Chains A and B, each alone.
Chain A
């Protein structure tokens, strides 16, 4: 257990090591976390909820259950934004072709942009290996029994990975359309990947995820002639849940539509760097 923030790591590991390996660095940008908690609680004896109970008392807390995750997420977001890093949280169900999409993206953009990857899976570092074969640095988080990445794990992984300034950091979340929706990691955008071999009604079956996503990538479009997938219905469902969602149709395998996705990444990075140049010089001078 981490003695500074009291994090219970359970079974999650970063690249085989326990989560709490890199704590000293990590806490340098988390140290204000404890001070920030504020709560207003009733003082003195219990109020109306527990009349007559001698020792019992009521304490009002009013704290978000995910407050701790959200504080770590904000720390991650601030840290990344100081370095001008664009972070994309890739979410999907298992088997949507997320890792293939990612490796092809890395191969296509690596000459042009600095890139790095955080891989989340319950077990194995197979995906991180696949990523490293592209020559891009990657770090694996194994969540053990966990069904999602949380901001605390990602904070550690960012420290261990130390991505370059003004780079793109891809965070490949655990394949799961439910839980990762609730856990902010400090990313700039959530990108949901849905393959058309899945049902076209996924956006309304798992509305929380598509509501949280900024971009929806419909993958495996090359298979469309062989399937009963109605693309228009799928898009309609997605817009129903999230009127602001942007949608791209691609095939990571054939490369169809992938240029649009690369363009989206370039624009997102450019947008992220607006107003960054001056602070970038400051950081470089001071180090």
Chain B
């Protein structure tokens, strides 16, 4: 449900950049979203179109770069790949995991005209 707010955040960053970088049209937006960021991609794409209507980013395409999530297993002392926050270590079965990546939400770059 907060995808709408995220899109407003994206648009805000784009509008700030437009002033600094002097552009008035956005063609493409690349965002990085981690697997654990809690973002529903479909909903993000839908909201993006709605939020950018009548803005500088109207009609721009939102491109999603999905990032995998990793965690540090304290028992095995190594990095493992996880899908959910409640996953266990595939090797030792421990839940003593420190998530190290996968909650990113970042605007990477823009193609502007």
Contact = CB atoms under 8 A, between A and B. Distances in A.
Interface of A: 6, 8, 37, 39, 41, 46, 49-50, 53, 55-69, 145-148, 150, 176, 178-179, 181-183, 203-204, 207-208, 211, 237, 239-243
Contact of A58 (B37, B38, B110): B110
A8 B12 CA distance: 9
Interface of B: 1-2, 4-6, 8-10, 12-13, 15-17, 21, 23, 27-28, 31, 36-38, 84-86, 88, 95-97, 99, 105-113
A66 B105 contact: yes
A49 B112 CA distance: 12
Given A57-B112, A182-B38, A240-B95, A65 B107 contact: yes
Given A146-B5, A181-B38, A182-B2, A65 B86 contact: no
A69 B4 CA distance: 14
A65 B31 contact: yes
Contacts of A68: 9, 12-13
Given A58-B111, A179-B5, A240-B95, 17 more contacts: A6-B12, A46-B111, A53-B111, A57-B23, A57-B111, A58-B110, A59-B111, A62-B108, A145-B4, A146-B5, A182-B38, A204-B86, A207-B85, A207-B86, A208-B36, A240-B86, A243-B95
Q: Which among B4, B13, B28 has the highest number of chain A CB atoms within 10 Å?
A: B13
Contacts of B106: 62-65
A207 B95 CA distance: 13
Given A62-B106, A64-B106, A56 B6 contact: no
A6 B12 CA distance: 9
Nearest to A150: B5
A145 B37 CA distance: 22
B112 A59 contact: yes
A59 B111 CA distance: 6
Given A147-B2, A148-B2, A208 B38 contact: yes
Contact of A56 (B27, B36, B84): B27
A39 B13 CA distance: 11
Contact of B109 (A8, A56, A59, A239): A59
29 contacts: A6-B15, A41-B21, A49-B111, A53-B113, A56-B112, A57-B113, A60-B108, A61-B108, A61-B109, A61-B110, A62-B109, A64-B106, A65-B9, A65-B105, A66-B6, A67-B13, A146-B5, A176-B1, A179-B5, A182-B38, A183-B2, A183-B5, A203-B86, A208-B36, A211-B99, A241-B85, A241-B86, A242-B85, A243-B97
Contact of B85 (A53, A66, A211): A211
A195 B51 CA distance: 36
Nearest to A210: B85
B13 A63 contact: yes
Contact of A37 (B9, B16, B110): B16
Nearest to A42: B109
Nearest to A50: B111
Nearest to A57: B112
B74 to A, nearest CB: 9
Contacts of B31: 65
Nearest to B74: A243
B105 to A, nearest CB: 4
Given A146-B5, A239-B95, A64 B112 contact: no
A230 B86 CA distance: 18
Which 9 residue pairs across A and B have the least CB separation, nearest first? A179-B2, A207-B85, A65-B105, A147-B1, A59-B110, A208-B38, A60-B109, A240-B86, A56-B113
Contact of A61 (B5, B17, B113): B17
